[in-house]
C-alpha cells in the first residue's frame, strides 16, 4: 500500500499542496481529478519520487520512498509523465526494453526478452515494434510507453494524463488496457485525468483536489454526482445513468 502522510509542497510563495494525506488502495484504479492548478500532477510526482516534498512522507509498504534505493523502487513503482517532446530516434522495441533496466542494468537476459515480448504482445505493438518512436502517432507512442511500463513490471503504475492528445478510439484503448492490467495482473494504477467521464467509467476510486487539498475522496459511485462536481469544479453538472455508467453532462 502507498500512504501519503501530511505532504506539502510550495513553489516560490505559492502553496501547491497543503498538508495532504491519502491512502492508495491496492488492486484498484484511483483517479486524481480537479481543475487546472489543483495540484494533481504535483501530488502524483511526489507520490512517485520525481519531485521532493517540503513536508510529510510517502510510504510504500510502510517505508519512506526516499529511503528505498532508486533501483529497487523502480521495480515497485513506475511513473509515466505526459510525453513531452522526444528528440531521440529509437525503435519501439528498444524503448520497451528500457523498462527492464532496473532488473538487468542494460544487459538484457533471456527472461528480460520474455517480458519485453509479452509487453509488446499485450499492447498489440507487434507490427510497429521495429519503427522509430519519432514516426509514431500520439496513440501509438502512448501505447509504446505503457508497454515499457508493463515490461518494468511494477505493482504500482502511475500515469500523468495518459489520454493527453489522444483521440476517442485511442483513449478508450488505453483505458481498457489499464483496466485489464489491474484486473488480470493485479496492478494498482493511479492516474491524473481531465476527462471526468473517463474517470467515472474506468476508475474504482476518485480523489478530488482543489487548491492543493483533497475536497473529497471515495469509491467512484459515491463520488460522481452533481453535488461533488459543484464543489470541485464550481459548475452545475447534471449526472445521468446511461447503460449503468454515470455520465456527466458538462458541455453546456
Collapse the DSSP code of 21 into the 3-class scheme (helix H, G, I; strand E, B; otherwise coil) and give the result: strand
- Is residue 51 exposed (0-12), middle (13-18) or buried (19+ Cβ within 10 Å)? middle
Of 15, 46, 44, nearest to 31 by C-alpha is: 44
CB of 190 to other proteins, least distance (A): 14
What are the helix and strand counts (H, E) for the chain?
A: 10, 12
Collapse the DSSP code of 102 into the 3-class scheme (helix H, G, I; strand E, B; otherwise coil) and give the result: helix
Residue with cell 475536497: 215
Residue closer to other proteins, measured from CB, 134 or 245: 134
Q: For residues 84-123, which are near other proteins according to CB under 8 A?
A: 84, 86-91, 94, 98-99, 101-102, 105-106
- Beta strand 2-11 pairing with 55-60: antiparallel
CB of 4 to other proteins, least distance (A): 18
Residue closer to other proteins, measured from CB, 87 or 234: 87
Binding segment for other proteins among 6-14, 55-63, 75-83, 189-197 (CB under 8 A)? 75-83
Compute the distance between CA of residue 122 and CA of residue 112 in angstroms, rounded to an integer: 15
CB of 58 to other proteins, least distance (A): 14
Compute the distance between CA of residue 181 and CA of residue 159 in angstroms, rounded to an integer: 13
Note whether 151 binds other proteins by CB under 8 A.
no
CB of 29 to other proteins, least distance (A): 19
Q: How far, CA to CA in Å, does 61 sit from each of 34, 72, 104? A: 27, 13, 24
Q: For residues 152-191, which are near other proteins according to CB under 8 A?
A: 152
Note whether 81 binds other proteins by CB under 8 A.
yes
Binding segment for other proteins among 1-9, 45-53, 185-193, 194-202 (CB under 8 A)? 45-53
Cell (9 digits) for 246:
454515470
Binding segment for other proteins among 67-75, 168-176, 177-185, 218-226 (CB under 8 A)? 67-75
Buried b (16+ CB within 10 A) or exposed e, 107-124: eeeeebeebbeebbebbe
Residue closer to other proteins, measured from CB, 50 or 247: 50
Residue closer to other proteins, measured from CB, 82 or 197: 82
Residue closer to other proteins, measured from CB, 12 or 106: 106
CB of 111 to other proteins, least distance (A): 17
CB of 32 to other proteins, least distance (A): 17
Q: How far, CA to CA in Å, does 127 sit from each of 108, 131, 144, 170, 235? A: 22, 9, 12, 17, 44
Note whether 9 binds other proteins by CB under 8 A.
no
Compute the distance between CA of residue 86 and CA of residue 183 in angstroms, rounded to an integer: 31
Residues that bind other proteins (CB under 8 A): 45, 48-50, 69-75, 78-81, 84, 86-91, 94, 98-99, 101-102, 105-106, 132, 152
Amino acid at each position: 500500500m502507498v500512504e501519503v502522510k501530511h505532504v506539502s509542497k510550495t513553489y516560490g510563495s505559492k502553496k501547491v499542496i497543503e498538508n495532504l494525506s491519502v491512502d492508495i488502495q491496492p488492486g484498484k484504479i484511483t483517479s486524481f481529478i480537479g481543475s487546472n492548478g489543483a495540484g494533481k500532477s504535483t501530488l502524483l510526482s511526489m507520490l512517485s519520487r520525481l519531485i521532493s516534498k517540503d513536508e510529510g512522507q510517502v510510504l510504500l509498504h510502510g517505508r519512506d520512498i526516499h529511503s528505498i534505493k532508486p533501483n529497487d523502487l523502480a521495480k515497485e513503482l513506475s511513473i509515466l509523465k505526459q510525453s513531452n517532446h522526444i528528440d531521440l530516434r529509437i525503435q519501439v522495441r528498444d524503448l520497451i526494453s528500457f523498462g527492464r533496466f532496473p532488473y538487468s542494468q542494460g544487459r538484457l537476459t533471456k527472461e528480460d526478452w520474455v517480458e519485453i515480448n509479452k509487453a509488446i504482445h499485450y499492447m498489440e505493438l507487434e507490427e510497429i515494434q521495429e519503427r522509430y518512436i519519432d514516426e509514431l502517432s500520439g496513440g501509438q507512442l502512448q501505447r509504446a510507453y505503457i508497454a515499457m511500463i508493463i515490461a518494468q513490471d511494477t505493482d504500482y503504475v502511475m500515469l500523468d494524463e495518459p489520454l493527453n492528445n489522444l483521440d476517442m478510439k485511442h483513449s478508450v484503448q488505453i483505458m481498457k488496457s489499464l483496466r485489464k492490467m489491474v484486473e488480470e495482473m493485479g496492478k494498482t494504477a493511479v492516474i491524473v485525468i481531465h476527462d471526468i467521464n473517463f474517470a467515472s467509467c474506468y476508475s474504482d476510486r476518485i480523489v478530488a483536489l482543489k487548491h492543493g487539498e483533497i475536497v473529497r475522496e471515495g469509491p467512484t459511485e459515491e463520488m460522481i454526482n452533481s453535488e461533488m462536481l459543484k464543489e470541485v469544479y464550481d459548475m452545475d453538472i447534471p449526472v445521468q445513468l446511461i447503460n449503468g455508467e454515470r455520465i456527466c453532462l458538462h458541455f453546456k
